[in-house]
Amino acid sequence: MNWRTEWRPLALIALVFSALYFLPAGLLPDWGAAGEALKLAQWYAREHVLTCLIPAFLIAGAIAVFVSKASVMRYLGAGAGKAVAYSVAAVSGSILAVCSCTVLPLFAGIYRMGAGLGPACAFLYSGPAINVLAIILTARVLGAQLGVARAVGAVVFSVVIGLAMHLIFRREEQAKAAAQAALPQPETARPLWQTALYFAAMVAVLVFVNWADPGAGAAQFWAAMFSYKWLLTAIAAAALGIILLLWFGLKWWKILLIAGHTVMLLYVIGTSPYLAFVAAELIFVVALLRSGGELREWLRESWTLTRQIMPLLFIGVLAAGLLLGQPGGRGLIPPEWIATCVGGNGLGANLFAAVVGALMYFATLTEVPILEGLLANGMGQGPALALLLAGPALSLPNMLVIAGVLGWKKTGVFVALVVTMATISGLIYGSIIG
């Protein structure tokens, strides 16, 4: 990180965040829809940024640095077996598409130099939807059910779409580009199981710290998990510390410093576990900043993603609040309109959501606050999933790029397949959830 250029965006993000976080809700001006937008932004700042978004950005940054992309790309090359190519294309978006702008070059590469049209289309459909940041925020804000449905729906239907594209156009197997794919050199710094444990520990911290109160009447197991959430978070964090110490070269005194501060805050000063967690998180980020090599690289990637996505998400939250209101509030768009267009779980509502999603451009993650507003205003669960599936995969601007690669005929068929599949998934999910 180059401090001379990076301190401005960092200071700006920190300033806007603290203003929203610390301003008492009663002091927020009551400006009708604009007030709703501020309240929604405050809710995001207080509920989602510290425990969900920051850990999620760290995980996404870690994927960019520590997961060998070359080892994944081997399975998408020209010589890869068909079954393998389709399955890898369907799930590899979570590793390869951390930044949404990498999706299109990869898609073009798989099509022209790699496994061909089918796997390329499967990747294009699932890639943006199973991006880790998108899944984490969907599950956190819109509920675990919709988060899981989004991931599963994207993976399953991407294979269906890929196979359909392959079958429809099997006669015109295009001439492969002369260029041979220059696969990046695999960089193996440590065995796979160590990297896997490292990610497992990080995901465990994220999951436990965000464990929601299941409410009265929930099954005993979920309630018990909730009452032990901070203990479980601490155990996962300790495991992460040991992993970083043993295999990633984080200095032992830095880990002791974090652990010591946490214990002191909890047992000497007696703060809430939440405050202790936030403090530990901040010290951890500083510890990474003061480290060298991979660890610093990890922080740099996480910061690049944060700087890129946070402003867009902030604008998305404000727009969602302005147009749709915070949950229970009222924005500029009358709720009756939304109930008419995408209420219930009928065919019309699902199709409408899928078509709108396919045409509209959503900046990374902004689909989440927008959908939250729509759901609060009477959108059905089925259409919500349809929008989530068709939304990030397609937009008018990226259709132009896709057409440049595939030609208009194939692009048209792909768009039609995406809309159809998103509609069908919405119908199925809506009829299950009700």
Partner 1 sequence: MKELKVLGPGCPRCNQLAAAVDMAARQLGIEYELTKVTDIGEITGFGVMLTPALVIDGEVAFQGKVPTPDELKEIIG
Residue 185 DSSP code: P
Q: At what angle do helices 54-66 and 132-142 cross, to 10 degrees?
A: 160
Determine, following the binding rule CB under 8 A, whether residue 269 of this chain makes contact with partner 1.
no
Q: Are the C-beta atoms of residues 166 and 116 closer than 8 Å to each other?
A: yes
Determine, following the binding rule CB under 8 A, whether residue 160 of this chain makes contact with partner 1.
no
Q: Are the C-beta atoms of residues 310 and 60 closer than 8 Å to each other?
A: no
Determine, following the binding rule CB under 8 A, whether residue 307 of this chain makes contact with partner 1.
yes
- Give the whole-angstrom CA distance, residue 233 versus residue 207: 8
Return the residue of 110, 121, 151, 417 that touches partner 1, per CB under 8 A: 110
* Least Å from the CB of residue 56 to partner 1: 18
**Taking contact as CB under 8 A, which single stretch among the options 15-23, 112-120, 205-213, 247-255 is the one that binds partner 1?**
112-120
Residues 270-299 that bind partner 1 (CB under 8 A): 297
**Taking contact as CB under 8 A, which single stretch among the options 48-56, 176-184, 368-376, 422-430 is the one that binds partner 1?**
176-184
The footprint of partner 1 on this chain (CB under 8 A) covers a number of residues equal to 30
Return the residue of 71, 102, 145, 340 that touches partner 1, per CB under 8 A: 102
Return the residue of 13, 33, 34, 104 that touches partner 1, per CB under 8 A: 104
Q: Are the C-beta atoms of residues 376 and 327 closer than 8 Å to each other?
A: yes
End-to-end alpha carbon distance in the chain: 48
Smallest Cα–Cα separation from 391: which of 433, 414, 363?
363
Return the residue of 18, 180, 188, 431 that touches partner 1, per CB under 8 A: 180
**Taking contact as CB under 8 A, which single stretch among the options 147-155, 178-186, 350-358, 409-417 is the one that binds partner 1?**
178-186
**Taking contact as CB under 8 A, which single stretch among the options 26-34, 43-51, 210-218, 399-407 is the one that binds partner 1?**
399-407
How many CA atoms are closer than 13 Å to the CA of 122, on its beta-carbon side? Answer: 28
Q: Which two tokens stand for residue 188?
A: 């193996």
**Taking contact as CB under 8 A, which single stretch among the options 34-42, 108-116, 259-267, 420-428 is the one that binds partner 1?**
108-116
Q: Are the C-beta atoms of residues 240 and 205 closer than 8 Å to each other?
A: yes
* Least Å from the CB of residue 4 to partner 1: 12
- Contact map string, positions 402 to 431, toward partner 1, x by CB under 8 A: --xx--------------------------
Q: At what angle do helices 293-324 and 54-66 cross, to 10 degrees?
A: 140
Return the residue of 41, 85, 106, 149 that touches partner 1, per CB under 8 A: 106
Return the residue of 4, 27, 83, 101 that touches partner 1, per CB under 8 A: 101
Return the residue of 177, 212, 263, 396 that touches partner 1, per CB under 8 A: 177
Smallest Cα–Cα separation from 363: which of 418, 308, 426?
308
Q: Which two tokens stand for residue 208?
A: 């436990």
Return the residue of 34, 156, 168, 181 that touches partner 1, per CB under 8 A: 181
* Least Å from the CB of residue 113 to partner 1: 6
* Least Å from the CB of residue 428 to partner 1: 33
Determine, following the binding rule CB under 8 A, whether residue 112 of this chain makes contact with partner 1.
yes
Return the residue of 81, 184, 191, 407 that touches partner 1, per CB under 8 A: 184
Long-range CB pairs of 378-381 (<8 Å, 24+ gap) are: 378/335, 378/338, 378/339, 378/343, 379/338, 379/339, 379/342, 379/343, 379/353, 380/342, 380/343, 380/344, 380/345, 380/349, 380/430, 381/146, 381/345, 381/429, 381/430, 381/433, 381/434
Sole residue written with tokens 């997961």: 67
* Least Å from the CB of residue 301 to partner 1: 8
Return the residue of 27, 83, 175, 182 that touches partner 1, per CB under 8 A: 182
Determine, following the binding rule CB under 8 A, whether residue 69 of this chain makes contact with partner 1.
yes
Q: Are the C-beta atoms of residues 383 and 425 closer than 8 Å to each other?
A: no
Long-range CB pairs of 405-413 (<8 Å, 24+ gap) are: 405/104, 405/107, 405/108, 405/111, 405/112, 406/111, 406/117, 410/117, 410/165, 410/169, 413/165, 413/168, 413/169
* Least Å from the CB of residue 175 to partner 1: 14
* Residues composing the chain: 434
If the CB atoms of residues 69 and 166 are measured against partner 1, the closer one turns out to be 69
Return the residue of 158, 210, 262, 304 that touches partner 1, per CB under 8 A: 304
Collapse the DSSP code of 352 into the 3-class scheme (helix H, G, I; strand E, B; otherwise coil) and give the result.
Answer: helix
If the CB atoms of residues 313 and 387 are measured against partner 1, the closer one turns out to be 313
Residues contacting 246, CB < 8 A, separation 6+: none
Residues contacting 297, CB < 8 A, separation 6+: 65
Contact positions vs partner 1 (CB under 8 A): 69, 73, 96, 99-102, 104-106, 108-110, 112-114, 177, 179-182, 184-185, 297, 304, 307-308, 401, 404-405
